[in-house]
């Protein structure tokens, strides 16, 4: 990335490709970091509308959303990412 915060044109398609290829792994990496935090807390509620902090998917008004807190870090996530989070939590608890 340049100092101006834009990707150089020649790198843009390669970057987009890499993002797609690493997308699922990236979601897992973020969620794993939360799942392995010793005192992680989760809250469920009805959304006021917004974007999932992990996949950037739309969370519609009144859809179920989850707040996951790990110390000073907090993410608001959708049901799909919460399912991945639960898988990571069960791995963390088995370890």
What is the binding site for Zn ion (CB under 5 A)? 52, 54-55, 57, 78, 81
Nearer to Zn ion, 11 or 45 (CB): 45
Smallest separation, CB 87 to Zn ion (Å): 14
Report d(CA 23, CA 60) in Å as an integer.
22
Smallest separation, CB 10 to Zn ion (Å): 31
CA distance to 9, 55, 60, 78, 90, per residue, from 65 (Å): 37, 13, 9, 5, 20
Nearer to Zn ion, 2 or 46 (CB): 46
């Amino acid at each position: 990335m340049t100092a101006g915060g834009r990707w150089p044109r020649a790198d843009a398609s390669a970057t987009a490709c890499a993002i797609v290829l690493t997308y699922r792994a990236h979601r897992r990496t973020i969620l794993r970091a939360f799942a392995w935090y010793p005192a992680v807390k989760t809250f469920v509620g009805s959304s006021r509308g917004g974007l999932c902090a992990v996949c950037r998917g739309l969370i519609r008004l009144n859809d179920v959303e989850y707040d996951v807190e790990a110390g000073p870090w907090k993410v608001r996530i959708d049901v799909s990412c919460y399912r991945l989070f639960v898988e990571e939590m069960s791995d963390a608890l088995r370890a």
